[in-house]
Amino acid sequence: MLVQTLTAILSIIFGILLGVDPSKGSLFSYYISTRSPVLAVFNIINFTTISIIPALIVSTFLISYDGKLLLTLIMGIIIAIHSILKYFFGRLFHYSGSLKVELTNIVKWSSLNPLISMDYFLLIFYEIFWNYSIITVYFISLLTKSIMLLIYKKYSINAIKVICSVNYDRILSIYSLFSIILSIASFIWA
Amino acid sequence: MKSITDIFKGDPTFYPSPKMAMKAPPEDIIYVVGLYVGTGIQKPDFIAVVDVNPESPNYSKIINKVEALYVGDEFHHFGWNSCSSALCPNAKPNLQRRYLIVPGLRSSRVYIYDTKQDPTNPRLVKVIEPKEVIESSGYTRLHTVHCGPDGIYISALGNSEGEGPGGIFILDHYSFEPLGRWEIDRGDQYYAYDFWWNLPNEIMVTSEWAVPNTIENGLKLEHLKDRYGNKIHFWDMRKRKKIASVELGSENRMVLELRPLHDPTKLMGFVNVVVSLKDLSSSIWLWFYEDGKFQAEKVIEIPAEPTEGQLPEILKPFKAVPPLVTDIDLSLDDKFLYVSLWGIGELRQYNVSDPFRPRLTGVVKLGGILHRANHPAGHKLTGAPQMIEISRDGRRIYVTNSLYSSWDNQFYPEGIKGWVVKVNANPEGGLEVDKKFFVDFGDARAHQVRLRGGDASSDSYCYP
């Protein structure tokens, strides 16, 4: 129970972080919203779905897998090494593809970056501990991105400046490391 | 020692959109390149650090000079290693506006200065020798520097023999190693000068001056007919391929500064043409994408002024002073275009809210072959307004007076003593020279200005 509760909390926080990080969909949507608000909302759904749901598909194949514990350990080590490298060498693990705001690029962007930055891995890692983790991250992230777009559009353009003044790469790398250690520790403890 | 908040903070001078950048705090210091090339004084060029905080006791004074290692580099344009383009979705993360990238226009050497530890005392951290630039790209005579989302872009006027084609090469954002030539398919592009871009549309635009062998020993009138460029080129930034060219009138020569609108949803911008062979006029053109193709339209024409008094040798046959529009700059809200008339001696402000119909809203007279106007505080002004830099809020315009060493000596044979003048801009339109601000460079000349934290020609934005 301890592990599930902890993973649920970690999933909610991760969903919020993915939603707030402007490079994970909300700024793209803000750009699109200058042309079409409907397309901007569609983009948020599209972006979030592509950047999260593939992890859910992969994890469904792993649910019945016998060597889950070993897999968890290996994934934990990979994510931990990745997080440490990412923290110290910010230029690593970043997809720098086309930024033309069109559907094919948004699909590429929202699928390759979660792969390179280990978001998919972390989601699967959470899912192994708690079966509703990915769905929780999906809805929390979707909700947060929508709120961010509303804030950008309706309340204050300065909010974007505040949001963009944070180095999310660093926050996410530390958060990934922290959640891996905490999850494994609580699993052993339980 | 970094604090916890520093670790998680991005660079506070990066702004996703130009509208937000306009709310940035006012600049406190500016960097200005000073040069001795062409003055007869054998000293290295330098970066001057000028205090521009009106509350400071050092207001309007050079508070430090950082010299180059060699004599004869000819510092000209320079730029930051990183800027607001780092917030574009495909940019490299964890960059800071920290290093000044200063190329020598004559030497093709690149100096990298670190401004982080002490912004008033930039520290030289790397020198890229001309040999390295040639080996990696084949280019020489380095001009414009722009901080791109994926590297530092530098334009070059020509090759190692002083001929064309000129083009662009890239430095690595982190190590500053030259990565090589940018163009993959340049088509018939031969002349080079300035470049800029519209990032979300992945379109680069480049302009044409001439090859080094044509310009380095001064302007020769017989070269004007066919050895100076009159086109702008449009490039697919992803494929690094030229996709279109537009000629700006067969009679026009020297297409220089490119100023795309800062709002990235608008694929258009301004460019200045220095001289018309027909009547010596200068013009400003608006380039834009419409009906599936790139087009350009002349939106401002400034005629030459007839006179016979105090003309330099090169202008005596014409009995007129050409305006010589050699720099333009666009405010971050895309509302005002500033134009320097280096021949006549004026800085003009045009309201370009409707970019197809600019309206003249302000003029100040400074130096010039025609006006010979002094500073309102009584300082004698040699040369005339040339490089322009606009503060992010659009309220302050910094102007210097040198164009290019060998051409300075032809148009102002009495000599140019470098200066920086500040002009205050009314947000509703109108200009006024700041009487309390005059920076005297003595025997050195002053060219480009960069504002600490960014300015109107340093940063590119991905969001409107």
With a CB-CB cutoff of 8 Å, which residues 80-119 of chain B face chain A?
Answer: 87-94
Task: Give the per-residue pLDDT at A157.
Answer: 66
pLDDT value of position B400: 98
Identify which of B16, B202, B464 has the shortest CB distance to residue A164. Answer: B16
Handedness of CA A48, A54, A57, A58 (dihedral sign): negative
Whether A76 has its CB under 8 Å from any CB of chain B: the answer is no
Residue A156, pLDDT > 70, answer no
ipTM of the complex in this document = 0.78
Residue numbers in chain B where pLDDT is lower than 50: none
CB-based burial label for A102 (10 Å; 0-12, 13-18, 19+)? exposed
State how far residue B3 is from chain A, nearest Cα, in angstroms. 14
Q: Encoding tokens for residue B183?
A: 């163009």
CA distance B384 to B369: 8
pLDDT given at position A43: 84
The neighbour count for residue A13, using CB atoms within 10 Å, is: 15
Q: Does B148 touch chain A (CB under 8 A)?
A: no
Identify the pLDDT of residue A23.
80
Distance CA B453, CA B370 (A): 36
| Mean pLDDT of chain A, nearest integer | 86
Which residues in chain A touch residue B16, judged by CB atoms under 8 angstroms apart? 22, 27, 160-161, 164
Predicted pLDDT at A163: 83
- On chain B, the residues whose CB falls within 8 A of the CB of A164 are 10, 14-16, 87
pLDDT at A155: 66
**Predicted pLDDT of residue A69:** 78
Report the distance separating Cα A122 and Cα A179, nearest Å: 9
What pLDDT was estimated at residue B1? 54
Q: Which of B207, B210, B213, B204 is nearest to B183 (CA)?
A: B204
pLDDT at residue A150 is higher than 60: yes
Q: Which residue of A has its CA nearest to B237?
A: A98
Q: Closest residue of B to A156, CA-based?
A: B20
Which pTM was predicted? Answer: 0.92
pLDDT digits (tens, 9 = 90+) for A83-110: 999 888 877 887 777 877 777 887 888 8
Asked if residues A97 and A113 have their Cβ atoms less than 8 Å apart, the reply is no
> Which chain B residue has its CA at the smallest distance from A170's CA?
B8
Nearest-neighbour CA in chain A from B341: distance (Å) = 37
Q: What is the pLDDT of residues A5-55, one digit of tens each?
A: 999 999 999 999 999 988 888 877 887 887 788 888 888 888 889 889 899
Phi, psi of B333 (to 5 degrees): -85, 5
Closest chain A residue to B8 measured between Cα atoms? A167
- In total, chain B counts a number of residues equal to 464
CB A138 within 8 A of CB A48: yes
Tokens found for residue B262: 């800062």
Is the pLDDT at A65 greater than 80, yes or no?
no
SS3 B83: coil
